Amino acid sequence: MLADADLDLLLAARHPDPFAVLGMHADADEDLWVRVLLPGARDVALHDTRSGRRVARLVLREGTDGFFEALLPRRRKPFDYRLKVRWGDDEPVTMGDPYRYGPLIGEQDLHFLGEGSHLRPFEVLGAHPLTLGEGVYAMAGVRFAVWAPNASRVSVVGSFNGWDGRRHPMRARGPSGIWELFIPGAGPGDAYKFEIRTRAGEVLPLKCDPYARGAQYRPDNASLVAAPLPPARPLPQGRAAANARTAPVSIYEVHLGSWRRHPDGRFHDWDDLATALPAYAADLGFTHLELLPITEHPFDGSWGYQALGLYAPTARFGAPEGFARFVQACHAKGLGLILDWVPAHFPTDAHGLAQFDGTALFEYADPKEGFHRDWNTLIYNFGRHEVRNFLTGSALYWVERGGVDGLRVDAVASMLYRDYSRPEGEWIPNVHGGRENLEAISLLRRTNEILGSECPGAITLAEESTAFPGVSAPTYAGGLGFHYKWNMGWMNDTLRYMAEDPINRRWHHDKMTFGLVYAFSENFVLPLSHDEVVHGKGSILARMPGDDWQQRANLRAYYGFMWGHPGKKLLFMGQEWGQPTEWNDAAELPWGQLQDPRHAGVQAWVRDLNHLYRDEPALHRLDADGAGFEWIDPQDRDHALFSWVRRDGHGRSILVVCNMTPVPRLGFRLGIPDAEAGTTAWTERLNSDSRFYGGSNLGNGAAALVVQPVPAHGRARSIELSVPPLATIFLTPC
């Protein structure tokens, strides 16, 4: 019989090694004993798995709730068995015994996890459905594993054990800090958490699984056992080329929860979204979708940027399997899919990562490093091996197993600098006394290297708002290894310019030209993102000056300037038709506005810009190369005119002219660069002032604009044309 001291520890859920006493064990006389702890059970019998025969009826120890044991008669060698358990007055249930199975995680996995070099920690940690044994001995269940090095006890609790921490205490795997347990009978769809007792004896609020691949729908927050891991999915043929620096990349940024909703306010599920969203974005000519974070998060108002489940698609849109179908639908429409990914910080919710095992495990311990003042969140400990593994593994998971084309990494600037948004004396310098977060820099480089090696063709994009050098340079050249960087400076400067009354724009001319000073120092994306239409900023349209007509004309001219400017493009949903109000994340977009021809005209302009951008290599092939751009006249501040040429490096060119005043420029003479000397005539390809877009329909029509030997803009040859008011026009060779 089990010693009273061990029994007391078991019943109090404090036993340091439950595997040493539960399950089947031989005593000093080599007699076999079986012991189980099943609180609430009335009767337990043990059956031989091979023969199916009952071997013994276990005896309930007097004064206990559910501790049963028995000496097995005439048995000396361990054997496979099943338990038949009666709960209440119901029929007996056949169960496996978790404590008859040995360790399942190999020493090599433990070693790689401990040193932070495991490429795929999600294959080891978390909840994994599997079947142990074969034939009559086969037992289906779930292997649970979690990292909690400072816990004195970890139990799996869930829908399969009445959320009772006494039922399934886990096995500690030595200095690795990992705990594991195989629970027979558990399976996909089961809800679970971890009950953790600290070394000080405190039982923490139940914790979700950091590696869970599914979660309950808020306000419930348990982790869900997901189906077996999806296989690695390489990018479909052609997708890698579509992500290249020389390819057209025009991104439609979407918050799924407010793109469309049911009339009663419910979210659409993955399959509804897969039917509608890829088709809509593809029709508008976008090449990529970018989703605000779809990893599980507790608070809708964070838009997903305060995530707790970095491996789980949010339950707001249905089961994880639906996300896989959404990815396939995007690729079927020729769209790449980019996910916003947040490795910078996480919320403080008690069921999440904060003080996970009673200590600062995932976060820096010192608030000067570990607490983010702007967002009231915790900052990952970027220097800890296991945390780095957790983050790099998440990035690889979404690209390799989720099948997405890339990740846009949020808040990179906050990761790079230890003094980010902190006053003097409230931050801790690095080992060299500097402000750079060397551990975060190393993590970002490592993540980009892993994705580059394991998922060729996938891309990463950095939301980085400082002048940190080499964000999109390769790591072997000292860069961070991103493929693209958001050009926040361009966005801020040009929006400020466009908000000015045209009569004042001459004094702000440099805001539109300054971006070309550094345009080729990084591989840039020009973003008009969700951040520009929230927190009282209004919509992009609302920032434009003038009456209703002028506002839309300004907006179309601005979009033309953006699509003609070097750099990939990003536009947040609703702005493709000039939504006049600020984005509301709690309701769907005001789709009824598209019945208004003024909004439909803006949408048609965006569609045609995208198709021109995709069809004309001169507008995208050398987006990040100075050889693809030449100013014709960047200095005409008195008339708020801008003109330049884009080239593809193979002889194809496009002229772009922007008039940012309401005054038409008739008989305007535009100098033609010598590099275009072989072209004898140009024609208007797109004109934002066309009546099709809601403009005044002033322009050049289909007329051939013949090159004449008349000097202009310092060039020996020129063309004469009409430049409409508040408009951008594109000219291509005849």
Catalytic site includes residue 436: no
SS3 459: strand
Residue 236 vs residue 349, higher pLDDT: 349
Classified by CATH at the fold level, domain 107-224 comes out as Immunoglobulin-like (2.60.40)
Nearest to 532 by CA among 524, 518, 522, 542: 542
Q: Is the pLDDT of residue 289 over 90?
A: yes
230 vs 226: CA distance, rounded Å: 10
CB 478 within 8 A of CB 515: no
357 vs 204: CA distance, rounded Å: 8
Q: Is the pLDDT of residue 148 over 90?
A: yes
Instruction: Provide the pLDDT for residue 234.
Output: 83
Q: How confident is the model over 417-438, as pLDDT tens digits?
A: 999 999 999 999 999 999 999 9
- Decide the pairing of beta strands 336-341 and 288-291: parallel
Question: Of how many residues is the chain composed?
Answer: 734
Burial of residue 535, with CB atoms counted within 10 A of its CB: 0-12 exposed, 13-18 middle, 19 or more buried? exposed
Q: Give percent of the chain with pLDDT exceeding 70.
A: 100
Instruction: Provide the pLDDT for residue 31.
Output: 87
Q: What is the CB-side half-sphere exposure of residue 14 using CA atoms within 13 A?
A: 11
Which of 88-97, 455-464, 576-585 comes out lowest in average pLDDT? 88-97
If you classify domain 239-617 with CATH, what class do you get?
alpha beta
697 vs 692: CA distance, rounded Å: 8
Q: How confident is the model over 685-712, as pLDDT tens digits?
A: 999 999 999 999 999 999 999 999 999 9
Q: Output phi, psi for 354, to 5 deg.
A: -60, 130
- Alpha-carbon distances of 124 from 102, 146, 180, 252, rounded to whole Å: 16, 9, 10, 35
Q: What is the CB-side half-sphere exposure of residue 277 using CA atoms within 13 A?
A: 34
Q: How confident is the model over 446-484, as pLDDT tens digits?
A: 999 999 999 999 999 999 999 999 999 999 999 999 999
410 vs 341: CA distance, rounded Å: 6
For the chain, what are the domain ranges?
A: 4-97, 107-224, 239-617, 626-733
Nearest to 721 by CA among 677, 661, 676, 672: 672
Q: What is the CB-side half-sphere exposure of residue 77 using CA atoms within 13 A?
A: 1
Instruction: Provide the pLDDT for residue 451.
Output: 96
Q: Is the pLDDT of residue 630 over 90?
A: yes
Burial of residue 14, with CB atoms counted within 10 A of its CB: 0-12 exposed, 13-18 middle, 19 or more buried? middle
252 vs 575: CA distance, rounded Å: 10
What is this structure's pTM?
A: 0.95
Q: How confident is the model over 22-62, as pLDDT tens digits?
A: 999 998 778 899 999 999 999 999 999 999 999 999 999 99
> Which tokens sit at 542?
């609302």
CATH number of 4-97: 2.60.40.10
CATH topology agreement for domains 239-617 and 626-733: no
> Which tokens sit at 419?
């003094």
What's the whole-number mean pLDDT along residues 541-549? 97
- Reported as a pLDDT band with limits 50, 70 and 90, residue 240 is confident
What's the whole-number mean pLDDT along residues 161-180? 96
658 vs 513: CA distance, rounded Å: 12
Q: How confident is the model over 313-325, as pLDDT tens digits?
A: 999 999 999 999 9
Catalytic residue selected from 463, 576, 623, 676: 463
Instruction: Provide the pLDDT for residue 73.
Output: 82
On average, the pLDDT of the chain sits at 96
Question: Taking CA 97 as the corner, what is the angle to CA 92 and CA 103, rounded to the nearest 5 degrees?
Answer: 165
Please report, in angstroms and rounded to a whole number, the separation of the first and last CA atoms in the chain: 96
Question: Is cis: bond before 219, omega within 30 of 0?
Answer: yes
Q: Which residues pair with 93 in a beta bridge?
A: 85
Q: Is the pLDDT of residue 154 over 90?
A: yes
- Alpha-carbon distances of 499 from 349, 487, 526, 528, 656, rounded to whole Å: 40, 19, 18, 14, 21
Burial of residue 43, with CB atoms counted within 10 A of its CB: 0-12 exposed, 13-18 middle, 19 or more buried? middle
CA dihedral 717, 723, 728, 731 (to 10 degrees): -40
Distance of CA 461 to the CA centre of its chain: 11
Q: Give percent of the chain with pLDDT exceeding 90.
A: 96
Catalytic residue selected from 340, 410, 532, 648: 410
CB 329 within 8 A of CB 434: no
Instruction: Provide the pLDDT for residue 488.
Output: 96
483 vs 292: CA distance, rounded Å: 19
Q: How confident is the model over 365-415, as pLDDT tens digits?
A: 999 999 999 999 999 999 999 999 999 999 999 999 999 999 999 999 999
SS3 426: coil
Q: Is the pLDDT of residue 236 over 90?
A: no
SS3 501: coil
Catalytic site includes residue 636: no
386 vs 391: CA distance, rounded Å: 9
Q: What is the DSSP string of 566-635?
A: SSEEEEETTGGGT--S---TTS---GGGGGSHHHHHHHHHHHHHHHHHHH-GGGTTTTT-GGGEEEEES-
What's the whole-number mean pLDDT along residues 523-528? 98
CATH number of 626-733: 2.60.40.1180
Instruction: Provide the pLDDT for residue 8.
Output: 93
